[in-house]
Structure 1
């Protein structure tokens, strides 16, 4: 079976005026199989968000090889890359990235505007159902500005999951939530991932969240290592 994601020797460097280039990722090797649960832990500044952006086709490596379902990413053109990201990748951003001036329902419906067939015509019903699943059925018409941080996080999660993506990328998905709500959110991420045989990659500082993954890594100064208890 072809791996969903395969990174070999991936680096990411950023040029800084009047200074040596800054290395953010340094020789990362990573394989993510369809349906796999993966967690990555690391301190702030270790390169976790940069890695997530590369996995989600928002950024490109400076060097190394990156394949998405066996296809080298550098061979996927800009428009084709956008279409694949929209169809196959669901992002749960740490900063939520909700559209201001749009209701919770409108925010969750947004990815479905690019769907086709039945999903497009049922976009309101699908978005409503997903908001109900994250406990916000009573907040459909609320704007992000009047939602709490935890509620905004749940809207962001509903938006990421509404298209049934094959790859779910979550950046600190429980960071703004209490322990009980955070556990229910991880339950939902795992449930939707299982429904779609989707891979789930979670960036987290929470050891309890990381422990739920089948495969666990630690990112330290741009280098990815198997976490304790995980085969290298």
Structure 2
């Protein structure tokens, strides 16, 4: 049975001039437990909106979202909030850490609504998760005392501490260097595998996307699958990168050819095929 399923999902908003802006169109997506999906697309393509719909933070304008066979729109708000809190871990691009609270307190926060042993051992669990993301020495630091990369890792620890069934990560390595980003993605994969959780990653970085089992492009509000594998000829890979409009500041990390040829050598290691 599917963990989360989207059927004919569309999202639109009405603008001040009464015109309609279509953000998502007729999305069909089925994600079973244990799956790892990557979604790529240009800024403003609706990726974060799609993530919010999967995480039950928002409701579609049309279509249906199902979670473990239950239709989300029929759930009472109290049941939906409890279901989301127990089953969904969000890694937001903007971190959303509580200012003035320590890293440990931020990671503990989701366990404050737990029951039984999970509640009483929440500090130990939060400490262990911070250690797993390499921040065991920063438990007493507030967000204001942490670098952007450290804040990102705290946000990831907070998302994973409850071992959710669905992990939704919006640019999880955006504030991290290459080495730390690779370690964080390995950790996300590891935790997801341990819990048989589904992992959905939104990213501009094809090296991050390549870790997923399935790959989708979101363009013009339409979601389509594509294949990502290695190796490929530099020109073919570069053309593929251009089709999914990789952000310029990340172009080199996915091997966009440069005048000195270094980019082409990097591009040879990844292939994108429609």
Shorter chain as denominator, the TM-score bin is over 0.9
Residue ranges of structure 2 left out of the alignment (5+ in a row): 230-272
Residue 175 of structure 2 corresponds to 176
Q: Detail structure 1 runs of 4+ shifted over 2 Å in the superposition.
A: 228-232
1:82 aligns with 2:90: no
Deviations 1:72-120 (A, max 9, x none): 1111111111001100000000000000010000000000000111110
Higher RCO (CA < 8 A, seq sep 6+): 1
Q: Secondary structure at the match of 1:29?
A: strand
How many residue pairs match? The answer is 231
Larger-gyration structure (1/2): 2
Whole-Å separation in 1 of the counterparts to 2:60 and 2:71: 12
Q: Is structure 2 residue 147 aligned with structure 1 residue 151?
A: no
In the superposition, the TM-score normalised over structure 1's length comes to: 0.97
Q: 1:229: Cα distance to partner? A: 5.2
* Whole-angstrom distance in 2 between the partners of 1:72 and 1:126: 32
User: Structure 1 residues 197 and 101 mapped into 2: Cα distance closer, same or farther (>3 Å)?
Assistant: same
Aligned-pair distance for 1:212? 0.7
Deviation string 1:161-214 (CA, Å, 9 cap, x unpaired) is 000000000000000000000000000000000110000000000000101100
Contact kept in structure 1, 2:37 and 2:213, CA below 8 Å: yes
What residue is the counterpart of 2:204 in the other structure?
Answer: 205
1:35 corresponds to: 34
Measured in 2, the distance between the counterparts of 1:228 and 1:122 equals 43
Partner of 2:16: 17
Cα offsets for 1:41-78 (capped at 9, x unmatched): 00001000000000001000000121111111111111
Aligned: 1:132 with 2:134: no
Q: State the alpha-carbon separation in 2 of the partners of residues 61 and 227 from structure 1.
A: 24
Contact kept, 8 Å, 2:210 with 2:228, in 1: the verdict is: no
Q: Which moved more, 1:59-68 or 1:222-231?
A: 222-231
Q: Does 1:8 align with 2:4?
A: no
Indicate the RMSD between aligned Cα atoms, in angstroms. 1.3
